[in-house]
């Protein structure tokens, strides 16, 4: 009977979703990456930096660090400090790698353990990792939609 290495799947999806997020960000014209579509939406750089920041926070959580949730103001200030494509993509690469390494160091039984996440929600480490990996895919879809608002109807993978 074949088995699935769930850690390998999560790690692979983390890298795949990170790469897709980057591809979709880069498909948006540079001068529009730090512009809010409609004046109220988060900018493409902000969405990407948020994914990067959360990947880093969750990597720390999986390494056993105590994670304090920042206030909205602290979060906006931190994420807003990554105000160029280069800064955001460097953070995304660094923190996605850190997330993958933290996941690879968990034992299978640790993945199954129920924990209280920094977001105040109880779930298994596997569910938490899956949610975070999916978070990048969610924002990739938003970036793809922003592209359509600017007239780009091509799918970017």
Domains of the chain and any CATH numbers: 6-149 (1.20.120.450)
SS3 114: strand
Q: Burial, 16: exposed, middle or buried (Cβ in 10 Å; 0-12, 13-18, 19+)?
A: middle
Q: What pLDDT, on the 0 to 100 scale, is given for residue 2?
A: 83
The beta strands (E) that lie in the chain are given as 114-116, 122-124
The beta strands (E) that lie in 88-154 are given as 114-116, 122-124
pLDDT tens track for 79-135: 999 999 999 999 999 999 999 999 999 999 999 999 999 999 999 999 999 999 999
**Within its chain, how far is the Cα of 156 from the centroid?**
18
155 confidence band (pLDDT: 50, 70, 90): confident
Q: What pLDDT, on the 0 to 100 scale, is given for residue 104?
A: 97
Q: What pLDDT, on the 0 to 100 scale, is given for residue 1?
A: 82
Q: CB of 25 within 8 A of CB of 92? A: no
Least confident range from 6-10, 36-40, 101-105: namely: 36-40
Q: CB of 28 within 8 A of CB of 147? A: yes
Q: What pLDDT, on the 0 to 100 scale, is given for residue 24?
A: 95
């Amino acid at each position: 009977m074949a088995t699935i290495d769930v850690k390998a799947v999560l790690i692979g999806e983390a890298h795949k979703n990170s790469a897709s997020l980057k591809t979709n960000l880069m498909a948006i014209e540079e001068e529009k990456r730090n512009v809010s579509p409609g004046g109220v939406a988060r900018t493409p750089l902000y969405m990407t930096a948020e994914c990067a920041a959360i990947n880093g926070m969750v990597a720390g959580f999986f390494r056993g660090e105590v994670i304090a949730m920042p206030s909205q103001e602290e979060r906006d200030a931190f994420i807003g400090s990554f105000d160029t494509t280069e800064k955001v993509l460097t953070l995304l690469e660094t923190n996605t790698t850190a997330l993958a390494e933290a996941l690879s160091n968990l034992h299978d039984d640790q993945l199954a353990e129920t924990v209280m996440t920094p977001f105040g929600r109880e779930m298994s480490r596997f569910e938490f990792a899956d949610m975070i990996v999916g978070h990048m895919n969610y924002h990739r879809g938003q970036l793809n939609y922003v592209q359509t608002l600017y007239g780009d109807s091509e799918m970017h993978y």
